[in-house]
């Protein structure tokens, strides 16, 4: 996997439900989003990074599972200006699995919300989906 050198801002966030242990949500995000700074802010876990290498596990999953169409559709449908987003299943992330959700309800305790922002967002989408 060749990681392009593109300036970007990546953020993952997840609400902390009253029935959840915040350390488990933090672990779920750490499992899929290395090289990020993670904080607990007002009943929400937020992880941020400015490096595409933080997406290496997601990239590998997209290409290993041949799920380019699913991710491509989500990234394109949610594209606005220089930003796009998608949901990941929080429970799956806790056991180091990366599962995209089309709807919030597909993750019973709420999803992990992933946002990508870059002046070169189209190049990032192409890299993630097509490996370009």
Q: What is the pTM of this model?
A: 0.93
The CATH fold assigned to 9-130 is 50s Ribosomal Protein L5; Chain: A, (3.30.1440)
Query: CA-based angle 59:26:68, to the nearest 5?
Result: 20
pLDDT at 42: 87
56-100 pLDDT per residue, tens: 999 999 999 999 999 999 999 999 999 999 999 999 999 999 999
34-63 pLDDT per residue, tens: 899 999 998 999 999 999 999 999 999 999
Q: Distance (Å, rounded) from C-alpha 131 to C-alpha 18?
A: 39
pLDDT at 131: 85
DSSP code for 35: S
The candidate with the shortest Cα–Cα distance to 29, out of 38, 40, 19, 16, is 38
- Residue 132 — pLDDT band, cuts 50, 70, 90? low
pLDDT at 93: 96
Query: CA-based angle 93:128:96, to the nearest 5?
Result: 15
Spatial CB neighbours of 107, under 8 Å, sequence gap ≥ 6: 87, 88, 89, 90, 91, 92, 101
pLDDT at 1: 76
């Amino acid at each position: 996997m060749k990681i392009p050198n593109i300036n970007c801002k990546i953020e993952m966030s997840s609400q902390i439900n009253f029935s959840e242990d915040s350390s488990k949500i933090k672990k779920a995000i750490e499992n899929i989003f290395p090289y990020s700074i993670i904080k607990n802010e007002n009943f929400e876990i937020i992880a941020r990074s400015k490096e595409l290498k933080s997406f290496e596990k997601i990239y590998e999953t997209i290409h290993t599972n041949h799920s380019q169409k699913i991710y491509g559709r989500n990234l394109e449908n949610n594209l606005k200006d220089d930003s796009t987003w998608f949901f990941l299943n929080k429970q799956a992330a806790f056991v180091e699995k990366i599962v995209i959700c089309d709807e919030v309800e597909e993750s019973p305790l709420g999803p992990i919300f992933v946002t990508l922002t870059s002046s070169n967002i189209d190049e990032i989408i192409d890299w993630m989906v097509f490996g370009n």
